[in-house]
Amino acid sequence: MVRERESFGSRFAVIMAFAGSAIGLGNIWRFPYLVGQNGGAAFIFVYIISSFLLSLPIFISESVIGRRTHSNTFGAMEILAPGSKWKWLGLLTVISPLIILSFYSVVGGWSIEYFVKSCTLGFGTVPISHVEGIFGGFITSTWGPLLCHTVFLLLCAGIILGGVKGGIEKFSNITMPILFVLIVLIIAYSVSLPGAQRGVEYMVKPDFSKVTPSVIAAAMGQSFFSLSLGVGTILTYSSYVKKDEDMLLSGAGTAVLDLIFAMLAGFAVMPAVFAADLEPASGPGLIFQTLPFIFTKMGETMPVLSNLVAILFFLTVLVAALTSAISMFEVGVAYLVEEKKFTRVSATLTIFFCTWILGALCSLSFGPLNGVRIFGNTIFEFCDKLTSNFLMTFGGLLFTVFVGWKMRKADVRDELTNSRTIRFNDRCFGVLYFLIKYLAPVAIIVIFATNLFA
């Protein structure tokens, strides 16, 4: 008896699911502080180019493998390269997203804490001198971060238990449009602040003298990280896409939406940062330390508006975190269901407990386990660097090499044209295939080398 496999119901559902996987903390948490650290608009210019010349070809590579096999990451390699060592790429891309999910859920838990704070006391009532210490005091404690980490993973598990259509598709279809509405509302407030114009100029007026090799590598890496490439999430979601769907159109649509949301997040954060005369290059703590300072400053004169904007902002962060987290969660669930014959319930519970344990260690590494070091890094830092700097780039490299050098060119064309039922100019295909086969692997090696020797 052949198991009936679930699939997404429409093109809208496909793009919303892909966009949900891509749009997450990488856009709303990571992108603004990288813009601040790397010179503003010049970084954005390189980031836009990288998104289409590097990240989109890798996205298409994963999509081709997933939709052609309609299988999980491990099973896909066994189908396309049976008996070969390529199966280890499949196994790598089962493990990688679970490591990411473990520390990602810790940050997702922080967004829950700050959303709750916004809905209860708010930041308008907090003395401005205490704002910076709130974040440090919370993440270095034991039980609060663990509880929020647990709640975040439970929310993910609840969505995954609904399946592809009833869980992932329904959640993405509802939350992605809401996410864009929320970020636009925040922008409307942010750019209206006195002094916000400097932040807008920082986002749109490039100073190309600031473009250095490290800035280029950071922009390339961010475009890579933002689309969740190299860890099997795109491959897994593509395996739920029907054969009549235009994968190139879905991929381009996802890249565009991801890019637009990243820019919107930048315009939501940077004008407010400049309006408050704060440091744009304040790093990973930007949205959890700098922005509450802004909300507190607002609260001195407009406490109600301060609370409302804070609620909207941290709700946006939470929803964005969830849409990406469920795609990482689903990679492991799909593997256990299809390769190990678990039920969806038992597979979900297994992934939940595995990621909860590693995530708990990551959370405690800010407090009781701060003295535990792996190659000089805390557990959280080690997991972050291992996946972001090495496993994601290595996985992306292998995916492009597999599609560009292992698969037959005719099979790649067949998948992208839906067996020649979609018109696709030969010259356009030649350019895309060149990007997949040559440019993307070289660019990934550059990123990998930069991360290795930085």
pLDDT of residue 285: 66
Question: What secondary structure letter does DSSP report for 9?
Answer: S
Between CA 359 and CA 364 the distance in angstroms is 9
Give tens-digit pLDDT for 179-196: 898 889 888 888 888 888
Q: Which amino acid is at 43?
A: F
Structure tokens at 277: 């005369």
Number of other CB atoms surrounding residue 451 within 10 Å? 17
Number of other CB atoms surrounding residue 102 within 10 Å? 26
pTM check: above 0.75: yes
**∠ CA 416-419-424, rounded to 5°:** 50
Neighbouring residues of 317: CB distance < 8 A, sequence distance ≥ 6:
25, 28, 29, 111, 114, 115, 287
pLDDT of residue 185: 87
For the chain, which residues score pLDDT lower than 50? 1-2
Domain ranges of the chain: 11-102+162-323+384-453
Q: Which of 203, 206, 221 is nearest to 50 (CA)?
A: 221
DSSP-assigned beta bridge partners for residue 374: 377
pLDDT of residue 2: 39
Between CA 270 and CA 85 the distance in angstroms is 46
Question: What secondary structure letter does DSSP report for 39?
Answer: T
Q: Do residues 169 and 13 make contact, with C-beta atoms less than 8 angstroms apart?
A: yes
DSSP for 235-250? HHHHTTS-TTS-HHHH
Q: Do residues 6 and 244 make contact, with C-beta atoms less than 8 angstroms apart?
A: no
